[in-house]
Structure 1
Amino acid sequence: MSENTAAGTSAAAAESAALPPTNRDLVPDDGAAKPTARRGRGSGLVRNLGLVVALVLLCVAGFVTAGDRFLSGSNVATILALAATVGILSIGMTFVITGGGIDLSVGSVMGLSTVWATTLATQTMAEDTHWLIIAVTAMLVGTAAGLVNGVVVAYGKVVAFIATLAMLVAARGLAEIISDRKTQILDVQAFKDFFGASFLGLRITVWMFVLVAVLGWIVLNRTTFGRRTIAVGGNPEAARLAGINVQRHTMYLFAIAGLTAGIAAVTMLGRTGAGTSTHGVLLELDVIAAVVVGGTLLIGGRGTIVGTVLGVLIFSTLTNVFILNNLSTSVQQVAKGAIIVGAVLLQQRLAARGTK
């Protein structure tokens, strides 16, 4: 065996060792690893099947309590439209949590992005050139905020909880300063026409969610970047010894969360036609809840885009059922809290079983 081949084999083995035992099934290996891979895929299918069953039961409850109103095409479209914004944010959050971090600022960053994208200067530029200027501005603002989070966490060695909590406050404050605490109406008609349109019965914003989810699944499950994300979340020190630049990778993960916040801001503008500092208030809680319920481990090292999408749909459907039955928001929050606690307890049980 040549030196280059030996070095490559050694690096691959080290990177595989960087993954926690429950995630080594994601690393291609020899025949001896195949039973583990089958067990990993099987447990993932069981988790997703449980989420599908929960979603179906919610739909049955919605039909029983609200009748044909729940199954109407307009109501289904409403559920999906409301899920789009939270769903896009949740895809970015899945990457961050899988990598061992957390981002509490995505709601505020989304609000800041809507405000910046609807300033008079931005709208004037969009009128003079193309409405895409508004969308690009929102995504750039979100990505910049995410990069700041990433630099502070990765290179400043600040705990992600504290760093993103600071961004939550700062982004909301900056949005209030820019907008003077006023709602900024979006007047670019071409933008509103595009995002107000439908394709195959679904709004463009829903298709944006679908596109982001598909791209997220491909990146997390079919690329080296996704493999390294799992390694960094599972064991950062082992990942570093395997040759992964953990600091740079962590910065990229928060940048992805910021980018999805910017994309979510575009969907919010398309749905409401206005930018305001109040957009996204406490939305990060719904996002984290959807990701956790979907099966992504809060301690990092395992993430699932399919589970996240199902988690988003479960919460959106639950909210819709409560609204159709005129139940108070207080009861909704209690139900969501119970679901979150149940999901975390299930995670702990599965994690404990995986270590045996």
Structure 2
Amino acid sequence: MKLSKFNFELPEELLAEYPAPNRDEARLMVLNRKEGTIEHKMFKDFIDYLDEDDVLVLNNTKVFPARLYGNKEKTGARIEVFLLRELNTETRLWDVLVDPARKIRIGNKLYFGEDESLVAEVIDNTTSRGRTLRFLFDGPYDEFRQKLTDLGQTPLPKYIKRDVEPEDAERYQTIYAKNEGAVAAPTAGLHFSKHLLKRLEIKGVNFAEVTLHVGLGTFSSVEVEDLSKHKMDSEEINIDEITAKIINTGISNKKRICAVGTTSMRALESSVSSSGTLNDYSGWTNKFLFPPHEFSIANMMITNFHTPKSTLLMMVSAFAGYEFIKEAYAEAIKEKYRFYTYGDAMLII
């Protein structure tokens, strides 16, 4: 599989700037792999595709306000700092992206907040865009994290050109988010409302929670034509024994196992036993799923509509079939489905 096979013309007006008025009232395109059919529904109709004892796999990661704006010492230049990963809690070390990167060098200090009460020093150039910062903060750790939260903004993706609005803090978070650590939302899960989850629970659907802290690895662009040469950034995952048991019971009873989003799917595929069941696991994954790939755990998935040449598009093409996804995306553009983070959803059965 080549990178160029995943390119397509996406009209800019189909990139969703705002979420649907209600979470479960986005549109839902349903792809039936066995029948080769495409149906057009509303997201709340998803309940019709699951039965009692089927399993819904949710990624319970929680987004933290990872985007900060600071000023460079002496020049006062405004610098965007995007927090990626905490490296050391005691020394307050973080891997970050900075923009504009060309203005920031080792030894530079950055000041955050109107009172400039938070200071960071650049101590390493990790990549062409990335840096390692040490935050100079004397107080207790929980005070430091609160400071980051107070100063940070909801990290909406760059394609959304508008300013962050108060409702984004809630809408760019799944309603079941609990384990903080993601710098981007697991977007397929944004469509679930409390009402829809309650209806699924009453129907007898089992919920299994995994954690994959979404990092920039999920969104990093692919720079090589030969996909087998692409290296994903590692992301932290956790699958506990309870989750593994719920899912393995579903597998042994030949139930539907529905992965909500590409992140849930990556977590599942990163911890498969030789017998095709799920192992509990806590650690890191850099699993890159692209065609051809035999999926071991989930037999259904929910996902959003992804951008050209993205690793997310490659994964859904592996799950649904390359030609079928190509046909579905052409249909989505024709029918003006909304793409990307705040866009509409697809169910593949």
TM range (shorter): under 0.3
- Greater RCO, 1 or 2 (C-alpha within 8 Å, sep 6+): 1
Between structures 1 and 2, the one with greater helix share: 1
Q: Could you tell me the TM-score, scaled by structure 1's length?
A: 0.24
Between structures 1 and 2, the one with greater strand share: 2
